[in-house]
Structure 1
Amino acid sequence: MHDFVYSDMQRTSIEVKGERFEMVSLRLKSSPRNLAPRLYWCAANRVVVEENLTSRVPGLYGRLKDAESSPFTYVCYLSSEFLDSHVRADRTAFDISERVPGTPLIEDVSMDDIRESVLKEVESILAGPLSTAREEGKARVHEFVSKRAPRYRPVLSRLEQLGVSVDPSMKDQDLELLLHSNLQKLEAFALAEGHAVLGEAGSAQPEGYDERLARYLYTVTDINQSDLAAYVSRRRTILDVLARQIRADDQGRYSKEDTIHSLLMPMRTDSNEIGTDASNLWIIDERLAFHDYLASDKTLKSMPITGSNSTREPDLLATRLVGSPLLAAEGGTLPLPSIVVIEVKRPMRNDASEDKDPIQQCLEYVKRVRAGGVKTALGRPIPPTREAPAFCYVLADLTKTMVDRCEYAGLPVSMSRARHTSK
């Protein structure tokens, strides 16, 4: 026994609806066999039910620390004459009702009544170690939010008010899921509160209405700041991924065009198949978020906007209506579209030539689109024109052959950063 028990703790008793229960608390030496705090329901001098207490009390997780910072695992043995008289003949369970949430309270002692009283006593017995564990958990959350998940910073105090408590040893992935689920609870609460508060708006407002409205607006403001922080953090992550993809690996090899292409937008898809959040074209130009039609690695023939029979595949092609027409006078025509073509090349590729000229390829795509029966994504015809503004982007390193093609096209070249061509 001494090999497993670090030390026993004070023996206590609780009373539940007139019934007395004895609690024997032990501190077990932490080991792979003793990882979770447990409650043993005993009867007739034997354990009948074993229950895991992990997180049932804020701060109660696998290991706690005593005043000397020695780690231990808490266990409790619960016994009473009431449990002895209500154990089943096979000694595997008790004939005691469980209180079901949402139903009226029962007069007899229930399992939930006993458990609730036990947990309150456990919190009192372990007051010191639990306080230390909660502080460590709080520090763990703050460190994670500061370094990995800044989106939760604006709502962190509100999540703490909800009683969010974490195991200091929790993995980043599990901590992210926990914070996310509690943020959703906060958003659901704010939504319900908003309906309730705004539903009371009127000539006769109830007492305390202004305070409730102010609290609701403050909560919404914090949630909106969290969304903005998540938006900025996501963009930072995408840029970090892009930076890794354009670097050489340990063998001196670079990522293929498809890898970078898929980061910008999933291949062989168009804007009718994916949502706006699926692409990262803001890396190239923020205005690409406002497009009428966008296609990635699809043939010109398959695009509803071109009317072309060509099977050539630009990496990315987009049209964008000029302005946002809501009303049109009789006899009026739709505004002309702008055209965007993006060509992606493998990092440090150095084989650009007259036959493999990405600049010329972009211009050829523009020519084909202008020559086709151009329509909007909804199938409405746009009057033909040779003057539709077009923008061509080439994503490539300025290797020697790429510089040669730029000079041949009469484009100024800066070795400090890539340029885009327009016509």
Structure 2
Amino acid sequence: MSNVNIRRAVDNIKSGINVYTPLVELIVNAIQAIEMGSTQGGKVEVLIKRASQLQLDSNNLQEVIGFIVKDNGIGFTDNNRDSFDTLYSAHKIAIGGKGFGRFTCLKYFDDLIISSNYILGDTKLNRSFKMGKANDIIEDEKIVPAEFIKSGTVAELKSIKSSKFIDKKSSTIARTLFEKLLPYFCTDGYQCPVVELRDEASDKIISLNDFLVNEGRGSIVELPTFNQKFLLTENNGVQQIFCARVFKFYSPKQQKSQVNLVAHKRTVTSTQIQNYIPEFSEEFNETIGAGVVRNFILKVYVFSSFLDEHVSLERGNFDFHKDNDMQYGISQSQIEEQAVKTALEVVSEEVDERTSKKQRFVVDYINKEAPWHVLMLDSVDLSSLPMNPSEEQIELTFQKAKFYIEDELKKDVKVILASDDSESLHDKAANILDRISESNKNDLAHYVALRRSVIDIFKKSLEANENGSFSNEGVVHDIIFPRKGNSIKTPFQEHNLWLIDERLNFTEYLSSDLPLEGHLSDRPDLLAYDKRVVFRGENEASNPVMVFEFKKPKRNDFANPSSKDDPVKQIIRYVRKIRDGYFETPEGREINIESNTPFYGYVVCDFDVKVRDWLEEEHDFKPMPDRKGYFKWHASLNLYIEVLSWDKLLKDAGMRNKLFFHKLGII
């Protein structure tokens, strides 16, 4: 009597298996029983059990509800029975047994029922039982005398737990079983017992041994000329031999090319080759006689005693790591990488074509959308990109590459600074400076390209929509500088004040659309306490203060004689209050203003006859030569004011950057 928490053991089976696993487990156990009994004419029969009623959408086939696996092996002798009743039994460890596989049966089926004929001395007996679900692995056991010609076992997987078995046609089930058991049928020097699949609904019999000749004729082909052996070394210095065998699978039905690691003649793990070479993400094709094109994938099967020794209990994984194994020194990914090279040899020309296509796509994206990456084209490894990458994936690849390049630069600089080798300092420093220069070129190109996008968006915001209306001040304001912001919240990278004046990229204090003092005070659309690059260190009174007012495109009501929104008067009021010390910086510091502190005021609006008359007659402004702007000097306030049209702002910004756009090929 056993005492095992069977339900927990079953629930703890998490990965590496599927609904075919218990069926494969029973077939392998049957093969092993035949081998243990040295049975002549060994045979395994697999019966597909179907539901009694036909489903409407079943294509004239009842649902698969279970399987019966029958063999003429040694049967459930006392040793075999005790092994079944022992968790993690070592009874069949020499042939790959882990003493756990039977638990996968209850993962997908309600019951596993056993009836077995065996011989004890001169007595013929029948042992029957079902696998328990509580604490006893064996339940309802009965042993009775029996008459039979050959020993053997009948094991039934009864009542599938899921609503449907994933496949329905016997030919599909046969192909899946053949693929999973393929090593049994192709291992050198091994003769597999006969394995037959019979469909209860039709009595059709499919021999898995002859699958390639009959059912699978021409659908699965081994490519022996591409098979190879390779060596990997463990941490202890022992070299392990691996053998990779390559098969073509035609009409793969949405399968992907795979590398399969085999242990004790069973496929344990299947990894898509596209994980290593993205160009394997789609099927390949070849033209055969009369112009017929057939699709195929490749499957590589890897054999090794190392894999036999390290397969997991459930036979769904190995006990070495997927990557960077520290215990054994050989990881799953290392084995797969070597095996994948064999598959690559088979379709090298097709993969080269796909790689070239991907490279052309990347170059096209960079030329059209990301010219700042041109300098990195030759140095970025594109091998990990998907075969048909999206623009986001391309951009991410280049951004990662840029990060690693800059990270390596920082490391190399630290090494130079920590070195006492003065003789090689010049050469090392020159090399690093060249690399820094290339990195800076990339950043500059990116920045210039983003400016072009900003100008395009700004231009769009000034156009009338389909209803004939224009964007309000808020929309164009946020493009230039986010409202309700200041220099603390909005660093220079996040505003576009260069549209107005390049000097505004270098400012210490900015206030955007915020009351200058309390909620009732006047507020400028933008106030900038400008600090030129050479004076960034301190709050110098000689640095100019800039004040802006934005007016909605096509708006002219501010030019009415009674308007309270006269932007020129508003700027003058702002400047007087600043001069009189009403305001502080966002940090609470006094704005250092002297009588000679220069002020610049800017009004941005659209011009019409009314606005021009208002500027020339009401405020005595002088027109600029292009008549797209006006200017005036207020000597008493040391204030220079310009009134610019939106068109001039857009045109001048474009002209200032035109040469850069031309150099990048984005004009």
TM range (shorter): 0.7 to 0.9
After superposition, where does 1:388-403 map in structure 2 within 5 Å?
388-403=597-612
Identity of aligned residues (%): 21
Look up the equivalent residue of 1:140 and give its one-letter code: F
CA distance in 2, matches of 1:410, 1:80: 93
**Is 1:363 the equivalent of 2:576?**
no
Alignment match, 2:349:
128
| Deviates most, 59-68 or 289-298 | 59-68
The equivalent residue for 1:306 is: none
Is residue 461 of structure 2 the alignment partner of residue 250 of structure 1?
A: no
Structure 1 segment 13-412 matched on structure 2, within 5 A = 13-16=227-230, 17-26=240-249, 33-34=254-255, 37-41=257-261, 48-57=268-277, 59-63=278-282, 74-78=297-301, 80=303, 82=305, 87-88=311-312, 90-91=314-315, 93-98=316-321, 100-101=323-324, 103=326, 106=329, 110-160=331-381, 164-200=383-419, 202-205=421-424, 212-301=428-517, 311-320=521-530, 324=535, 335-352=541-558, 353-354=560-561, 355=563, 356-373=565-582, 379=588, 381=590, 385=594, 387-407=596-616, 408-412=618-622
TM-score normalised according to structure 2 size: 0.53
1:44, CA displacement in angstroms? 7.3
Q: From the superposition, tell whether residues 301 and 119 of structure 1 become closer, same or farther in structure 2 (CA, over 3 Å).
A: same
Kindly state the Cα deviation for residue 132 of structure 1 after the two structures are TM-superposed: 1.1
The separation in 2 between residues aligned to 1:101 and 1:188, in whole angstroms, is: 23
Task: Tell me the TM-score normalized by structure 1.
Answer: 0.79
In the aligned structure 2, how far is the partner of 1:64 from the partner of 1:164? 18
Gaps of at least 5 residues in structure 2 are: 1-171, 173-214, 231-239, 288-292, 633-639, 642-667
Structure number with larger C-alpha Rg? 2
Asked if 1 retains the 8 angstrom alpha-carbon contact of 2:507 and 2:528, the reply is yes
Q: Deviations over 1:247-269 (max 9, x none)?
A: 12223232221111111112111
C-alpha change, 1:200 and 1:155, in structure 2 (3 Å) is: farther
User: Would the aligned equivalents of 1:25 and 1:75 in 2 still touch at CA under 8 Å?
Assistant: yes
Q: Structure 2: how far apart are the matches of 1:9 and 1:239? A: 61
Name the CA shift for 1:318/1:89 in 2 (closer, same or farther; >3 Å). closer
Whole-angstrom distance in 1 between the partners of 2:345 and 2:548? 65
Give the letter for the 1:291 counterpart: T
The 8 Å contact of residues 380 and 401 in structure 2, kept in 1 or not, is answered as yes
Is 1:26–1:75's contact at 8 Å kept on the other side of the alignment? Answer: yes
| 8 Å CA contact retained: 2:281, 2:387 | no
Q: CA deviation at 1:336?
A: 4.0
Q: How far does the alpha carbon of each residue in 1:21-61 deviate from its partner, in whole angstroms, 9 at most, with x for none? A: 423233657x8x45x5443445677754332332512x525
- Report the alpha carbon displacement of residue 403 of structure 1 after superposing the two structures with TM: 2.6
Q: How far does the alpha carbon of each residue in 1:288-324 deviate from its partner, in whole angstroms, 9 at most, with x for none?
A: 122231100111116xxxxxx9522211011235873
Alignment RMSD: 3.7
Could you tell me whether the CA contact under 8 Å between 1:270 and 1:295 is conserved in 2? yes
Give the Cα separation in 1 of the matches to 2:365 and 2:600. Answer: 42
AA matched with 2:548: I
Q: 1:295 to 1:81 in 2, by over 3 A?
A: closer
**Structure 1 residues 78 and 399, CA gap change in structure 2 (3 angstroms):** farther
For 1:357 and 1:287, the matched residues in 2 are separated by 26
**Does the CA-based 8 Å contact 1:64-1:129 persist in structure 2?**
no
- How far is 1:373 from its partner? 4.1
Structure 1 residue 18, shift from structure 2 partner: 2.4
CA distance in 1, matches of 2:369, 2:599: 40
> Structure 1: which amino acid aligns with 2:372?
R
> Is 2:512–2:526's contact at 8 Å kept on the other side of the alignment?
yes
What is the CA distance between 1:201 and its match in structure 2? 5.4
Helix, strand or coil for the counterpart of 1:178? helix
Query: Shift of residue 14 of structure 1?
Result: 3.0
| Contact preservation (8 Å) 1:374, 1:384 | no
Q: 2:557 is aligned with what amino acid?
A: D
Check conservation: 1:291, 1:320, Cα contact below 8 A: yes
- Does the C-alpha gap of structure 1 residues 204 and 367 become closer, same or farther in structure 2, counting only changes over 3 Å? closer
SS in 2 for 1:142: helix
Q: Deviations over 1:270-299 (max 9, x none)?
A: 112232212111110011122231100111
Query: Would the aligned equivalents of 1:63 and 1:71 in 2 still touch at CA under 8 Å?
Result: no
1:346-385 Cα deviation digits (max 9, x unpaired): 2222433231322222222222222334556665546665
Query: Do the aligned residues in 1 keep the contact of 2:259 with 2:340 (CA within 8 Å)?
Result: no
Structure 2 letter corresponding to 1:176: E
Q: Following TM superposition, by how much is the alpha carbon of 1:232 offset from its aligned partner in structure 2, in angstroms? A: 0.8
Q: 1:334 to 1:48 in 2, by over 3 A?
A: closer
Mark the CA change 1:201 to 1:246 in structure 2 (over 3 Å): closer, same or farther: farther
3-state secondary structure, aligned to 1:49: strand
Amino acid in structure 1 at the alignment position of 2:546 = V
Q: Which residue of 1 aligns with 2:95?
A: none
Pairs aligned (count): 398
Q: Which has the higher strand share?
A: 2
User: 1:73 Cα shift?
Assistant: 6.9
> Which residue identity does 1:255 align to in structure 2?
S
Equivalent residues of 2:546, 2:599 under 8 A apart: yes
Partner of 2:131: none
Residues 485 and 514 of structure 2 are in contact (CA less than 8 Å); yes or no, is this contact kept in structure 1? yes
Kindly state the Cα deviation for residue 100 of structure 1 after the two structures are TM-superposed: 4.7
Q: 8 Å contact 1:293–1:320 — kept in the other structure?
A: yes
Q: Give 1:330's aligned residue.
A: none
CA distance in 2, matches of 1:94, 1:52: 15
Q: Contact 2:244 / 2:302 at 8 angstroms: preserved in 1?
A: yes
* Cα distance change, pair 267–28 in 1 and its aligned pair in 2 (3 A): farther
Distance 1:347 1:204 in 2: 65
Q: Name the aligned partner's letter for residue 473 of structure 2.
A: E
User: Alignment partner of 1:404: what SS?
Assistant: helix
Q: Indicate how the Cα distance of structure 1 residues 39 and 99 shifts in structure 2: closer, same or farther if over 3 A, else same.
A: closer
